[in-house]
Amino acid sequence: MRRKLGHPTFPTLYFKDGVLSVPGYTFENAVSWHDTGSMTLLAEGNSLKDGSNVLAKIAPAQSNGSMCLEREAHILNRLMSTTDGSSTVLRFIDFFKIPREHGDCVVLLLAHPGPNLLGRYLPPSKVNDLLLADMGHSRSTTIHGDSPMHSAFEENGLTDEMESFDIMDLASFLEFAIKATLCLETLHKAGLVHREVRANAFHLNAHSGFVRLVHFGNRAVSLENFGSPSSLVLRTNDEPEKLKVKEALCYLAPEQTGSIDTMAQDHRTDLYSLGILFWTLLVGRGQMLFEGGPLELLHAIVQKRPMPVHEVRRDVPQVLANIIDKLLAKSPDNRYQSAHGLKTDLLECQRRLLAVISSLSGEPQELIPPFEIALEDRFMEFTIPIALFGREKELELIRRVILDTSASFSQHHSASKGFISFSAASSSQDAGTEPSESMSSRSGSPLTGPSDSSRGQAMPESSVHDYSNSTSASPVRSSPDGLRRSVFRSGRSKYDRTQAVLVIGPPGIGKSSIILANQAKWRAHGLWGQAKFQGTESAPFAALLRCLSSVLRQLMVFHTDLQRFVTGLQEQLGPQMQNVPLLYQGTPELKEALAKFDINVEEPHEPLDSKDLRSRFQSLVEKVFAVIAETRLFALFLDDLHEADDSTLDLVSTLLNSRSRMLIFATLRSDKIAVVNRVKAMFSFRARPTWISVEPLTYPAILALTSKTFHRTKEDCAPLAQFIHHASSGNAFSARSILTTLQRQHHIEFSWEKNYWQGPLSARHISDPTDLTFLTERLRELPEEARKYLTWAALFGETFKVTEVALMMDWEDSVGDEETDDKWNLHKAVSNFRDKESGGTTRGSMRGLQLALSEGWLVQRARDMCSFSHDRYRQAAQAEATALPAEMIAKMSFRIVLMMLHETPIDVYRIAEHAKKCLPLLLEHPKKEELLNVLIEAGESAWARGAHELAIRSFVSARSLLNDRPWQTDPQRTFNLLSRLAALYTWKGEIAASDTILEECYVHAEDLEDKSAVLRLKSRNQWLSNNFAEAFNDTITALNILGIDICTAPSRRQADVMFEQVKNEILAVGFDEILSIPRTSDRKTELAVALLNDAGSHAYWSPSPSIFSDVIGLTTIQLALRSGMAPGTALGFFWALGAAAERRELYRFSTDLAKLALRIADAHGSSMEKCRAQLLYCSMVSGFDNVHLRSNLPRLEASLKYGYSAGDSIYTSFAIIHITITKLYICEHLAELVTSAEECLNDVGLLTPGGEPVILANGVLNCIRVLAGHTNTQTAHTLFDTDNFIESDYVAQIHQKSGNLSMTLNWYNSFKVVSYFCVGYYDEAAALGFSVYETRMAHPNHRHVRYALFFHNLAMVACIRKGSLSGNLRAKYFSQIKLNQAFIRKWLSASPVNTSTWVAIIDAEMAALLGDSNAFRLYDVAVRLASDNDWLMEEGWALFLVCLYILRLQTVGLIFPHSKGPILSDVGSKDLEGNCNVGESHDTHNGGLKG
């Protein structure tokens, strides 16, 4: 090689502007190594001592690139001491650190390998472009830096470029392959794994023919991230770079994709990647064996069988193709088990090739005659099979659930979009069988099987148990033909329901493995998200958001699906789109996905209650996951759910009950009984979760595992298997740990001649492997550097950045036990200790990491990430860390905090998590104020996302950092911190702690607004403590402080005077002018309106409602007219409607006022005000508005979306209830309505568990079930009973728990009256209706009261008609009918479309009862009004009642002899007679509507 003439050397060591100066050497300018994800620079140079050529690899210090070089130096040091090391790797010269002021980088100095002959066969990007032999080919790296996939060959000029490369002949290939395999054999013998074998890892010297490894992992950035394409892959836009990324992806082994049930990477991983290289060299010209986008490549690596090389290149012998096929087996257990076995077969190929070539025979024969391969393969590396043993029943059950989910998804999408179908072929495979080639990502099911498989089948024997709730949904009944068949749609609407599979068992039993065994199949056709919980999360919902991030990366590679997802997100979220930025912090991919479609949303700043914040975030996450499940087949794996915190468990409850096509897997430890019971209680009565209890492995399963591990017969392994089964108690992890321990302690050894592991296969003493102390003992047996590394890693969690752990460990090593000032200087703490490292050797952290990896405690997850290989390993390391002295733990946490403060951007959550362990040290820190602000920021951010437990921890830590005089130093910050903490204590139910903090805040608050805000929080505490009078007084006091004087006990006359005054003001100003009143900027006004709304709500819901709510509303209107609009102003208008409508019968004015309030809410209100305004309009105004009630449905749907957006669980519940009631009013098909009502009760129960809305929803459901005939109608007492609901017991609970019994029972009894009458229990309906009338003002302006009174009138008429009443009772009924009718008639002039039918029917019934000759005409009017106004139920009852009237008269033929009457023209005389005959049986109480 020619001598390099570089820059002159300087005595100092530095690197600047591409110029490297090292004493004794001269170098050319450093250039970037054009390799995917590389941070390395290369500089060629010469030694001034002997003139030899050298190569310098340079990377920034404390980066992933420097970790790569340090690992390489570590490996080279180890290999140079081996026999074949010097001939298989580059000669190591030096590894050193250039100080920060002279370049801040690390340099690995190596002997130059010379020209690379591989450049003849591969494009420059696939080899080391600085080291190419000059073969006379044009290899511009600026145009096409990498070989393309098959689909890329059509690009202009690319095919010609590929044609310019030679194709390696068989002899040259075998010579290279044998030497390359020898390189890996040498590496593996040293106990090392390369993990990044590809074309540019090898160097074929053009002169000597030596093959050497020239790097051991050059990528500083990972290509894969938890089974999804990494950000590097997704953000690569340049076409040549895309091709380079795809080529790099193709070399990943299945276990490196994160998409199969194992992440363990061992020597067989290198052999797989070597097989890819062999395939590429034989086919030639850089062609790769897989094609497609990044995610499709990851799928293909796991799922698709590569095309055999001899089918691509015809002169490749079959035996050589068989060797490569074996290398490329998907399961590591089916590949070559040693480089020795591969090398032996390649040598045999070479020998046979030479024999054929040297043969003079003229007969045609194969170049390499076939032979049986892998006979000399050796199991010299101790590996435990990946396959699961003894879990066939559990796997089959999960397979059936998957099949059910995928079939449902297929049916839904094939009907509407026609793009997915599922095969019915069986998919069960024996362990070790290669999966067949998969179809396209949208063409098949993850698991195929008989299409009639159902989860409803009996669960397999005792190892699998179904703990699902036994409550059943209402049965489906066929509905009779209705009068309007176009309205009565056949069948029952189907609601999507999340499928859930929960695997429960002791730690280490193999719960996760059972789920992950299905991952690869699922990923071939759908999206897979995995959330791994690990105790307390540092960031809000970190595991779930990381999971969402991974799923979105999978989705983003499919542009069409991504567009469908974004469109679906906009449709489903509606106003909730404003909340999407709450997810950006943990899921930046969501922001990127929206930005691709020019959607930019700013983070919301709506003032919400703590409870509402959690509901808002839960609803947002649930809907995002639901849209994903609608876009593509989607499975979510919640691993170690027992480790999740309370806020996450609440969110998981929402996901488990989501109406979506998600399939959720979860694993739970059986010894975490409280969490298991909590998860069981999460499911609604309609859910059908599948519970699988994993039992210990049986002896045959342990025997099979042992036999496969030792590669011996079961008879030989029986004694050891018995010992392992007894010692492990059938625990899968413990059994594997015992096997590993026996090998690591050299109790067994490999027999080269017999090719199996041998030793005294009998019982020997070993501590209980199911006990964590077994693993802690193993941890203490590791070398000190490995122990220290694992201890530090445990502080960072289950998955961690290797650079961070290295930084902490090396800092500790550099400082030792000395007390220095580094801890007071952040810059020194992170930077200066680097310069203390000795040159030429790797750091202790690198050695510790490599030892931990080789010992199996850690697995590499990505280039910069590692994970504990099993939870039990993490728990053992955490136990070891916890056992350290408290002072040492505090110092370690303190150093972590200092490191994180040095990062950009600062991760406030992680700092907050570690800061709580070292608060005394932080108190002494000069930058305590900065840390205090970080903690407050972490708390505020967690609070905004509903992670209140995390927020409390952050705020408590922040409070402990306040100085002795916080109110004098920074009063506003102190007030904000403590008031927020008080609000969170209120949410948590710790009222006393909250009150104590609020007292402190009230004493020190200076602004009137702050004092009022404190009183508002105190009022809330009083209300929650049922101290209603004190709560009211605090609210009034707060209003008085703000200058709002309000009469707390107004008389009717005072209220009337105030109403007239406000009404005149409104009319004087004009509605249009009121709308033009601007938004107030005065904080005092906004707070006053909020307090008035609090008072209005308290007055409305208090046990003794009064006209005070009217005064509250009128005061709010006055405040708006004088001081401007506030977000809550619109709600004040609704509080005034009671005075305007029911008491003064100013219905038109009330309607106009309500519509004005809606427009004010749209203009000035937040999502919460918009939700409430829409709902209050529908519930309190629409009944007397002259627009059909059907128009409420769009308003209620909008209210529902706004409610979810605001997290307003109470009003969202009411919106759901009113949607169901409106559907009942307008007479939707009962088969569909029953399902809708059951879903309503389910949703309301989740939103407000145990609250008043649940009672309201139950009352509506009971009524609908009765009407549909789904209840026990034998007696009135059991009318509402079902198999799982006893109404008498439920009513008793209402009396015990309701805070406002009259209001609750008014609603509940209203629908009972309807139910009683409709099935013929007239006496019960008549008796109960009186209580509804007496409590009618508990729900002013609500339609359900008049609805019930209408049926109450019908019931009383029926009772009078029977003639069995006493004189006094008969008179009472007549009097009540008049009162009810007068109450209903109040709405008649204002809203004839919604009220006239009721009035007409009762008028007709009374006329018939009294013998009025106009009765039939009145019936005719009633029927026509019902028909014209589209009231189907009322029309049916009108026809039914006129039938009975005619039947009683016994004059059908006389009245309408020619069937030309208005009623008979609609029905016909025969139908009329049939209806009348049915009506005669109406009193038999057989259930359901009969007409």
pLDDT of residue 129: 60
Q: Is 57 helix (H, G, I), strand (E, B) or coil?
A: strand
Show the low-confidence residues of the chain (pLDDT under 70): 1-11, 125-126, 128-165, 220, 225-227, 237-238, 286, 360-362, 414-495, 536, 761-770, 815-841, 862-863, 1101-1107, 1138-1139, 1450-1491
Evaluate whether 401 touches 455 at the Cβ level (below 8 Å).
yes
**Phi, psi at residue 1455, to the nearest 5°?**
-75, -45
Q: What is the rounded CA–CA span in Å between residue 935 and residue 976?
A: 13
DSSP 261: S
Concatenating the DSSP letter of every residue in 806-840 gives HHHHHHHHHHTT---SGGG-HHHHHHGGGGGSPTT
- Count helices and strands in the chain by DSSP H and E runs: 62, 22
For tokens 């321990």, name the residue: 741
* CA–centroid distance for 114 within its chain: 52
CA distance 3 to 923: 61
pLDDT at 577: 93
pLDDT at 1341: 84
Burial class (CB in 10 A: 0-12, 13-18, 19+), 88: buried
Q: Which of 1185, 1295, 1287, 1196 minimizes the C-alpha distance to 1236?
A: 1196
Two tokens, residue 302: 């796991």
Pairwise CA distance, residues 1440 & 1454, whole Å: 20
Three-state SS for 320? helix
CB atoms within 10 A of CB 481: 7
Alpha-carbon gap, residue 1073 to 1093, rounded angstroms: 23
What are the distances in angstroms from CA 1061 to CA 981, 1055, 1065, 1068? 43, 10, 6, 11
- Could you give the C-alpha distances from 626 to 118, 496, 524, 633, 1266, in angstroms and in order? 50, 10, 20, 11, 33
Contact by Cβ (8 Å): 798, 532: yes
DSSP per-residue string spanning 288-309 = -S--SSHHHHHHHHHHPPPPPH
∠ CA 1227-574-1159, nearest 5°, is: 80
Whole-angstrom Cα Rg for the chain: 39
What pLDDT, on the 0 to 100 scale, is given for residue 288? 81
CA distance 1419 to 1415: 6
800 forms beta bridges with: 866
Q: What is the pTM of this model?
A: 0.84
